[in-house]
Amino acid sequence: MKREEVFNFSAGPSVLPRPALERAAAEMLNYNGSGMSVMEMSHRSSFFQEIFDSTKAKLKAALNVPDTHEILFLQGGASTQFSMIPMNLIGGGTADYAVTGNFANIAMKEAKKYGTVHVAASSEADNFTYIPTQSELTLTPDAKYFYYCANNTIYGTEWGYVPETAAPLVCDMSSDILSRRIDVAKYGIIMAGAQKNMAPAGVTVVIIDKSLAGHELPYTPLMFSYKTMIDKDSMYNTPPCWCIYMLGLTLDWLETQGGVAGMEAIKHEKAAMIYDILDNSALYKPHARVDSRSDMNITFRTGDADLDAQFAKEAQARGLMNLKGHRSVGGIRASLYNAQPMEGVKALADYMKEFEVKHHV
Ligand SMILES: *Cc1c(COP(=O)(O)O)cnc(C)c1O
């Protein structure tokens, strides 16, 4: 198939803005007159330092990151943060975790290795169909931090509010960062793997309140210390150079789309197009509770696993790719990240209506 014939609904790694890819292609063999690709140059070169500094500055501007916070470009994916966070922050105390999905659950279990964990809320008994309300959170006085996952990629639920806690907020924003405005000052740590809404897999963005660094457990590996990475501006060792470069190109594109506010303005409209179909369908059953729905990942099923598989297969034949649900839950999942164009959402909506007419008896 030609790229023009495809809309990619992958949950991650996922679709990137075409202009970013085109620029990367144009600069592939010779970046800015260096005679080298970004993949081939020293991370200590002035060429790369400029890419690094400008990408950081663009992200700082896009998310309005205050000077109290440092932006880090790390490796190891969001999953490595599940360990780094407790190693650096829990320091003999208790951490509160809201367990609203698979990744929050893994993070919670990982934290137990390093300290005391209190589950402040869990929607596991309801198959992670909802986000707890503020009054449903049981908070530990003097907790070291409160951990939550802003958007549950697998289940298709998203926090519609920022929890009010005395403890610093630590948030996994892997799958909705840059899709809505946030007040970074409210957070101790924001972390996100890049491959959902920012860049290729390989760079993990961490935005950390600098006052939280430097309290790591004594056996914390050097590479897992936020302080090491802050002191060395993410370049204690070789950073994921290519991915940082790609993030910069995505951020350039984002600016042409009105930045984060621009994304926020259209993301709900995009998602509503699909949710409207689900709400008026006799065939499709949405997974998430209405008040907890994600604008980024929409999950549903037909109630028949074979029909779900057929849905994804017939979709693929017409260029609507990667609509199969996560292997742990099955069903169907459509990811509508920033780079998913409105035409892609419309094509999916048309297909869903046709499929229902054809298959609903
Ligand atoms: C994908 C994802 C992860 C895991 O990211 P890796 O980079 O593969 O470790 C964690 N949290 C959320 C919310 C995700 O969507």
Q: What is the mean pLDDT of the chain?
A: 97
pLDDT at 328: 86
Measure Cα distances from 3 to 26, 191, 319, 351 in Å: 17, 31, 9, 19
Ligand 1, atom 14: closest residue by C-alpha: 174
Mean pLDDT of 120-145: 98
Is 80 exceeded by the pLDDT of residue 360? no
Half-sphere exposure of 149 (CA within 13 A, CB side): 30
State the Cα–Cα distance between residues 144 and 141, nearest whole angstrom: 9
State the Cα–Cα distance between residues 333 and 320, nearest whole angstrom: 12
Q: Over pLDDT 90: what percentage of the chain?
A: 98
State the Cα–Cα distance between residues 127 and 277, nearest whole angstrom: 23
Phi-psi region of 64 (alpha: psi -120 to 50; beta: other; left: phi over 0): left
Q: Is the CB of 153 under 6 A from ligand 1?
A: yes
Q: Annotate 71-121 with DSSP letters as a single string.
A: EEEESSHHHHHHHHHHHHHTTTSEEEEEE-SHHHHHHHHHHTTTSEEEEEE
Distance of CA 68 to the CA centre of its chain: 23
Query: Tell me: the pLDDT tens digits for 285-301?
Result: 999 999 999 999 999 99
Identify which of 99, 174, 198 to mutate to test ligand 1's pocket (most ligand atoms within 8 A of the CB).
174
Could you tell me the pLDDT band of residue 55, with boundaries at 50, 70 and 90?
very high
pTM of the model: 0.98
Ligand 1, atom 3: closest residue by C-alpha: 78
Identify which of 74, 79, 197, 198 to mutate to test ligand 1's pocket (most ligand atoms within 8 A of the CB).
79
Q: Is the CB of 174 under 6 A from ligand 1?
A: yes
Ligand 1, atom 5: closest residue by C-alpha: 78
- Angle formed at CA 20 by CA 206 and CA 48, multiple of 5 degrees: 60
Mean pLDDT of 225-246: 98
pLDDT at 166: 98
pLDDT at 41: 98
- Angle formed at CA 70 by CA 64 and CA 72, multiple of 5 degrees: 105
Mean pLDDT of 19-42: 98
Mean pLDDT of 208-226: 98
Distance of CA 220 to the CA centre of its chain: 26
Is 80 exceeded by the pLDDT of residue 282? yes
Using the mean position of ligand 1's atoms as its centre, give its distance from the Cα of residue 164 in Å: 24
Higher pLDDT, 341 or 360: 341
Sole residue written with tokens 């909802």: 130
| Paired tokens of 90 | 């829990």
State the Cα–Cα distance between residues 249 and 254, nearest whole angstrom: 9
Ligand 1, atom 12: closest residue by C-alpha: 174
**Residues 210 and 70: beta-carbon distance below 8 Å:** yes
State the Cα–Cα distance between residues 325 and 344, nearest whole angstrom: 18
Is 90 exceeded by the pLDDT of residue 133? yes
Mean pLDDT of 136-165: 98
Could you tell me the pLDDT band of residue 347, with boundaries at 50, 70 and 90?
very high
Using the mean position of ligand 1's atoms as its centre, give its distance from the Cα of residue 105 in Å: 12
pLDDT at 361: 63
Q: In what order do the strands lie in the sheet with 187-193?
A: 69-74, 204-209, 187-193, 169-172, 145-149, 94-99, 116-122
Q: For the beta carbon of residue 166, count every other beta carbon within 10 angstroms.
A: 10
Using the mean position of ligand 1's atoms as its centre, give its distance from the Cα of residue 184 in Å: 20
Going by C-beta distance under 8 Å and a sequence separation of 6 or more, which residues neighbour residue 358?
none
Using the mean position of ligand 1's atoms as its centre, give its distance from the Cα of residue 33 in Å: 36
**Residues 11 and 333: beta-carbon distance below 8 Å:** yes
Is 70 exceeded by the pLDDT of residue 160? yes
- Angle formed at CA 342 by CA 339 and CA 345, multiple of 5 degrees: 95
Identify which of 103, 198, 322, 327 to mutate to test ligand 1's pocket (most ligand atoms within 8 A of the CB).
103
Mean pLDDT of 11-40: 98
